[in-house]
Chain A
Amino acid sequence: MSQTLKIEIDESADPLNHFMNKSAKDLTDEDVDNIIKTLRAYRHTYSEAPKTAKEQKAAATTASGEKPARKPRGPSKTKVDMTDDIAKAIMAELLGVGEMSPEEE
């Protein structure tokens, strides 16, 4: 049994729209505080939403309480993407994959 978890975001119910309809002149300091609160909550809402098919599948599994049967593993059919490998090599050579900004390390 499979179950698909579908998440829809109703844009019209988005509390940010209440503020977006205001002009700069009508915007109060309280509105600005509430925009910050709303957006911080908004990010949380989005960060909880499954983004990838894998994440959606994992969420569906949790919702149904069943673990889907695992497909038997066969020989890898993954093709070697030479373009991707070359790109990686160039990045490593010239850009340095390790040269990420400190917060990414």
Chain B
Amino acid sequence: MTSHFSSIIPYLQIAWDSTTIAAFKRCPRYYQLSFIENWQPKGGAVALEFGIYFHSLTELFEKLIAKGLSHDDALKEVIKKCFTIKSVWNPSDPLRNARSLLLTVFFYIENWRLSKIKTFYLKNGQPAVELSFRLALGKPYLSSDEEVIICGHMDRLVTIDDSIYVADKKTTGHGITRFFYLNYLLNDQVTLYYIAAQVVLAIPAKGILIDAASIDGKIGKFDRQIVHRSIALAEEWLEDLTYWLRYAETCAKAQHWPKNENSCSMYGGCVFRSVCTQTKKCSPKILNRDFEKREQWNPLKER
């Protein structure tokens, strides 16, 4: 499978990751604009790009440490890679730019230098870093009889006191408060990764380690906390998901993704509010003026 859309029903997604699941649940119209039509605010990709580079640089460090390099030697390689990134990515954003990327990555690595949390090693001897997974849900969910899969990429598996957890890095431009962690008590990505660890990797992970980095343009702030899940909760989430999948099929068949106005003010305010306050006849004008098309988000894309 290379396309995440159905070959029978146009715009029916059949390979879902946590990003698209959460987007559809949040608001079908938001999902349509973001992941079917691929709109994003002009210059709005900076936060996403920063997160991707932060992930790739810290993963490079973890892989080099797993290969046996010393802390400082691995750090040097990461700094060199950071300068390579700077040659192609250095936005004028005051919070997220090449300089703040270097600072955040450097102090993240330094901050956890003496951490007792260690990368878990798979049976094949490889460090469990950047693990892609696909989980087939089977066929009974869609009228088109196509198989649906859920997929994603886990940052790392770690061990804490002989227990295994899925670690997921989160960057935020805000502080790391208890409310930040509350977001992950009920969260599609956390549940999906928990399921993937149990089912795909057959590893009895106890939960997710939220590995948070607050970006402030200076040295940043870093914190980690565990979020637990249970098999019973995961099963309920999967059952709920089948209803959402059928709803997605209904929308795709009708070529209509309704607005959920109750989400407009959430998440710091939806980026598409200016679009949705217009009729669908007028909204293309706003989209062409204030938004730009980005590459199609494909959950199946290899990393």
- Which residues on the B side are within 8 Å of A5 (C-beta)? none
Point out the residues of chain B lying under 8 angstroms from A99, CB to CB: 225-226, 228
Q: Kindly supply a per-residue 1/0 record for chain A positions 16-50, scoring 1 wherever the CB is within 8 Å of any chain B CB and 0 otherwise.
A: 10001011100101001101100110110010000
**Is A101 a contact of B107 with CB atoms below 8 Å?**
no
Interface string of B71-83 (1 = CB under 8 A from A): 0100110011001
Are the C-beta atoms of B226 and A95 separated by less than 8 Å? yes
- Whether the Cβ atoms of B228 and A27 lie closer than 8 Å is no
Contacts of A102 in B (CB 8 A): 116-117, 160-161
- Are B80 and A24 in contact, CB atoms less than 8 angstroms apart? yes
Binds A, one of B174-182, B193-201, B286-294: B174-182
A43 — which chain B residues lie within 8 A by C-beta? 107, 110, 219
Provide the bound-state CA to CA distance between A20 and B178, in Å.
35
Question: Are B83 and A22 closer than 8 Å at their CB atoms?
Answer: yes
Bitwise, A94-105 to B at CB < 8 A (1) or not (0) is 111001111110
Complex-state Cα separation, A17 to B161, whole angstroms: 41
Q: How far is the CA of A43 from the CA of B218 in the complex (A)?
A: 9
Chain B CB within 8 A of A88 CB: yes
Query: Which size bracket describes the interface of B in this complex?
Result: 35 or more
Contacts of B218 in A (CB 8 A): 46
- Size of the chain A interface, CB-CB below 8 angstroms: 29
Complex-state Cα separation, A23 to B185, whole angstroms: 43
- Is A87 part of the binding interface, using a Cβ–Cβ cutoff of 8 Å? yes
User: Which listed residue, B75, B99, B117, touches A16 by the CB 8 Å rule?
Assistant: B99
Chain B residues near A40 (CB-CB < 8 A): 110
Shortest B106–chain A CB gap in Å is 5
Partner of A46, one of B179, B219, B228: B219
Which A residues are in CB contact (< 8 Å) with B65? none
Contact B160 A101 (CB under 8 A): yes
The reply to whether the CB of B202 lies closer than 8 angstroms to some CB of chain A is: no
Expressed in whole angstroms, the Cα–Cα distance for A90 and B106 within the complex equals 34
The one of B83, B106, B112 that contacts A24, using a Cβ cutoff of 8 Å: B83
Chain A residues with Cβ below 8 Å from B179 are 87
Please, which residues of chain B bring their CB within 8 A of the CB of A24?
Answer: 80, 83-84, 86-87
A95 x B115 contact (CB < 8 A): no
* Cα A88 to Cα B179 with chains together (Å): 9
A104 to B83, CA, bound (A): 32
B224 at the interface (CB under 8 A from A): yes
Q: B209 contacts which of A23, A46, A101 (Cβ < 8 Å)?
A: A101
A53 to B67, CA, bound (A): 45
Chain A contacts for B72, CB-based, 8 A: 36
Contact between chains at B181 and A27 (CB < 8 Å) = no
| A95 and B225 contact, Cβ closer than 8 Å, known pairs A23-B83, A88-B178, A102-B117 | yes
Closest to A22 in B: B83
Residues of the B chain whose Cβ atoms lie less than 8 Å from the Cβ of A23: 83, 86-87
For residue B160, which residues in chain A have a CB less than 8 angstroms away from its CB? 101-102
Q: Which residues in B have some Cβ–Cβ distance to A below 8 Å?
A: 72, 75-76, 79-80, 83-84, 86-87, 98-99, 102-103, 106-107, 110, 112, 114-117, 160-161, 178-179, 181-182, 185, 209, 218-219, 223-228
